[in-house]
Every structure is written in C-alpha cells, then in structure tokens.
C-alpha cells in the first residue's frame, strides 16, 4: 500500500511527529480553545494557524536540504551527503519557534 514512498527511518519519524502534533493540537484545542494573538508573523494567528505555517516551513526546510545535499557535500568537501537528521532537527526547532513566537 505504501510502497510508492521511500519509507526510511527519518521519513517515518517525521510523519509520526506530524500525526502526533495534529492529535495533540486537537486535544489541546478541545480542552482550551485558542485565541488570536499577534506575534512576529504579519497577521493575528491561532495555535492552529501557527502549526500550519510551522509545518509548511518544516517541509520546505527538509525539501531544500534534500535538494542541496549533493551540493553541500561538494561545498564542504564531505565524503557523503549530510544526514537528513540534521534537517529534521532544524525543521523541528523552526516549528517550535513559530509556535512559540509567531
């Protein structure tokens, strides 16, 4: 059923984290409805809005990392492409920043 996708451990963990975040946000929203607030994003947002923006940014970080992996190996004179775990950590930190300050 899922053979069309390259299910590596980092990919599986990434999507598991997204599913857990969505489930957690659903429970959080039911228990404590969010209010709009203004952070450093150019609009008032709710928790759900910030999660959506953060997930988009996380996806872009991972896609850019995968796209530039070969180039980064050349630029930094590495024997192999940098680990996707680095992009995973960067994207989760960025997501956390958007959720907290956005």
Specify if 55 maps to a domain. Answer: yes
Whether the model clears a pTM of 0.85, i.e. scores above it, the answer is: no
Work out the burial of residue 2: count CB atoms within 10 Å of its CB; fewer than 13 is exposed, 13-18 middle, 19 or more buried. exposed
Domain interval for residue 64? 9-32+46-101
Q: How far, in Å, CA of 65 to CA of 84, rounded?
A: 7
Specify if 20 maps to a domain. Answer: yes
Total tally of structural domains belonging to the chain:
1
Interval 1-52: pLDDT, tens: 567 767 778 778 878 888 998 899 999 999 999 888 888 888 899 988 898 9
Interval 68-98: pLDDT, tens: 888 888 888 888 888 888 888 999 899 899 9
The pLDDT of residue 85 is: 85
Specify if 4 maps to a domain. Answer: no
Specify if 86 maps to a domain. Answer: yes
Specify if 77 maps to a domain. Answer: yes
């Amino acid at each position: 059923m899922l053979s069309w996708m390259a299910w590596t451990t980092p990919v599986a963990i990434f999507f598991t984290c997204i599913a857990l975040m969505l489930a957690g946000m659903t429970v959080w929203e039911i228990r404590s409805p969010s209010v709009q607030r203004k952070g450093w994003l150019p609009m008032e947002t709710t928790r759900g809005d910030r999660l959506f923006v953060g997930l988009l940014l996380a996806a872009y970080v991972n896609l850019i990392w995968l796209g530039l992996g070969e180039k980064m190996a050349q630029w930094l004179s590495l024997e192999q492409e940098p680990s996707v775990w680095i992009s995973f950590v960067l994207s989760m930190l960025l997501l956390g920043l958007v959720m907290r300050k956005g």
